[in-house]
Structure 1
Amino acid sequence: MSSDLKETFMPPPQSDPTPPAPAALAAKVRTLGPSMTRSMQRVAEAVAGDPAGCAALTVTGLAERTGTSEATVVRTSRLLGYPGYRDLRIALAALAAHQAAGRAPAVTADIAVDDPIADVVTKLAREEQQCLADTAAVLDTSQVEAAVSALATARRIDVYGVGASSLVGQDLVQKLLRIGLIAHAHADPHLAVTNAVQLHSGDVAIAITHSGRTTDVIEPLRVAFERGATTVAITGRPDGEVAQYADLVLTTSTARESELRPAAMSSRTSQLLVVDCLFIGVAQRTYESAAPALSASYEALAHRHDPRPGHR
């Protein structure tokens, strides 16, 4: 790291991380699947589609079922957060039990062109709920706490995002402004880079990109990283290029992409959850100054919208 601040907010390495709970296993399969190799995807799809059946298989049996190798099965297990296949089998058995008891939601069907609006509402609500649950399951709270600590003491905060992610960035910035922090949202890539050049130790830069490979977002984050700012990535691809320049990575999940529901729509839900977690965390950490600032902003807006004469 290029600054003391980065060392302060980087969480300590974990040599023996706790394996994900059954619900988190399902979330990790959905979240990490698209970034896996094709052979690893086959293993992930098999365990997600039939946890009970796969739990009964040996590593050799699962390799034969998926047309892969034992090494691929083990690598997939580790990518999903388990020390080895034995630990994955235990989690699969637990997940199967949860599903049998009705505590694990089934994957909802895609929205069809001829679906009545009542079905659209139901399917979207289920997808949104699953997306939020998956994000909560895969989000590393130690990384969130480190990001909150950095934001709470930041001299200045820059947020980068384009497209739907820029809307999420604007939401975060307006929340931070209302509790008295200095924050800026940058959707223009040129302005983002020119502002990133001005950052240094004591500042925070946040990149929001679901794919983890949006160049217009990665470039200003890279500049901020090299200038010594604490850098944060909010992304659905923790192994994406954006992570190379992020001191802290906040992983989001997403509902399945379909013809009528592109990734930009589904990813926004999980991004907004992370934004709210960051805001609440910072407000808690800076309560003595945040509470009066928030109250003042409420009063200012109420006065502005008062319809009575002389109260505009």
Structure 2
Amino acid sequence: METSDRASGVLRQHFDQHRTQLSRSELAVAEYLVALPIDVLIFKSAEEIASDAGTSDATVIRTARRLGFSGLPELKRVCSRTMAKTIPTSDRLEQRFRGTGSELPKVAQQMFATAREVLTSTEEQFDEQMLSVAVSLLEGADTVWCLGMGTAEIEARHCAMALSRVGLRTRWSGASGFTLANDLLDLRASDVVVLFNAVHETPEFSMVASQMSEIGCKLILVCGVQLRALYKDKVDALLTCIGSPSKLASWTLGAIVTGDMLAYGVAVRNQPRAIETKRRLAGLRAKAERRN
């Protein structure tokens, strides 16, 4: 409970700062949110909060914004950071079980709702100019390297495959340590790196980012909000994806969509090459099927 109290203290500060700007219905929602333990709040949807507070989900969303957040998802993320840093992973899993209950249909509904929340929050962070810059960098690359740091191996592999199918030469790696160092020996200044990392700035991540600068190749970073704050002026393009503090839906969802946007952006700007690549792929698949 101590951790929940500390995490809720962040919300309390926002409440104290903005309470005079709240309408009566917004004040009721804000007081309800402040009173909730954070390990309960992160599992609450806008609809559930509205029902408990006797108001509408639109009022809940508006209240979150009046309190200084972009919306309810950001409110939950910011307030949960203390909990994420201080509670062991096994304990957080127990909290998740308590938060969702064990009725599978209800759990499924919560997971679908959280997945929509993740994608909506990622869309809210979407930067058209950054996407255009990133696509331009990819168009000019000799080889595009898609690297997945930490748990982001799947995102990197998906992006590399999507880009190769629109005509780019790609390589991907989810390696770490000496294996990653060995993979990076082939990097050239004419290459572009798409680096996926959800949250943490590890020593290895810092090493890779600095090595890109030393080699002179361009770096596109696909990351969460905390890394964005640290690296927005240190990379050539940065695209932000949002996760969920409840962990009922993955940061991977937004990162996969981002990889698809990069690939389709390259395809749209280079349609003859993309079409020819698809034809070659179809031909190779047909030959493989005949051999089987």
Percent identity at matched positions? 15
Q: RMSD of the TM alignment (CA)?
A: 3.8
Selected match of 2:62 from 75, 78, 96: 96
**1:221 and 1:254 mapped to 2: Cα distance?**
22
Equivalent pair of 2:141/2:192 in contact (CA under 8 Å): yes
Q: Which runs of 5+ in 2 are unaligned?
A: 1-6, 24-30, 32-57, 77-94
Shift of 1:207: 1.3
Within 5 Å, which residues of 2 pair with 1:1-312?
41-42=10-11, 46=15, 55-56=21-22, 96=62, 112=99, 114-189=101-176, 190-236=178-224, 237-239=226-228, 241=230, 243=232, 245-258=234-247, 261=248, 266-304=250-288, 306=289, 310-312=290-292
CA 1:39–1:123: 2 relative to 1, 3 Å: closer
Q: Return 274-283 or 249-258, whichever deviates more.
A: 249-258
**1:210 and 1:299 mapped to 2: Cα distance?**
37
* TM-score of the pair, normalised by structure 1: 0.61
**2:20 and 2:263 mapped to 1: Cα distance?**
41
**1:302 and 1:145 mapped to 2: Cα distance?**
35
What do residues 185-226 of structure 1 show as CA deviations (whole Å, max 9, x unaligned)? 112233433444543443211211111413333322321122
**2:140 and 2:126 mapped to 1: Cα distance?**
22
Shift of 1:294: 1.7
Number of residue pairs matched by the alignment = 226
Equivalent residue of 2:251, what SS? helix
Shift of 1:177: 1.6
What do residues 25-49 of structure 1 show as CA deviations (whole Å, max 9, x unaligned)? xxxxxxxxxxxxx8994378649xx
The structure with the largest helix share of the pair is 2
Equivalent pair of 2:144/2:193 in contact (CA under 8 Å): yes
CA 1:44–1:123: 2 relative to 1, 3 Å: farther
Q: Which runs of 5+ in 1 are unaligned?
A: 1-37, 58-64, 66-91
Equivalent pair of 2:167/2:273 in contact (CA under 8 Å): yes
